[in-house]
Amino acid sequence: MEKKLFPKRESLTISFDEELEKKNQSLLYIQIHGQVVGYSMYAWPPSLSASITKLAVKEKYRRQGHGEALLEAAVKKVEPELCPA
């Protein structure tokens, strides 16, 4: 999916696992019938910010709210890190 959706200069296919091993970096994905149809990679550096480094949804599953769901889930995951109670 990574190779198909992103140009070679933006693709992480070679270093996908390496990216996920970095501190404060994570991945969320959506599965439908056992098939990954979208994912979001995000990072939260040791500051008061976070960023989405990759967001992808297979073409067939776009405009169904999957991208929005991935973004919302990433925000919920990093909120406790950025805004401790």
Q: The domain that contains 48 carries what CATH number?
A: 3.40.630.30
Tokens 């550096």 correspond to what residue? Answer: 45
34 domain-assigned:
yes
What pLDDT was estimated at residue 12? 54
* 84 is a domain residue: no
The whole-number pLDDT of residue 17 equals 63
Is this structure's pTM higher than 0.75? no
Domain that holds residue 27: 2-79
For range 22-42, the mean pLDDT? 84
CB atoms closer than 10 angstroms to residue 52: 13
Torsions phi, psi of 80, nearest 5? -60, -30
CA distance 73 to 77: 6
Of residues 4 and 65, more confidently modeled = 65
When divided into structural domains, the chain yields a total of: 1
Give residue 69's identity as a one-letter amino acid code.
A
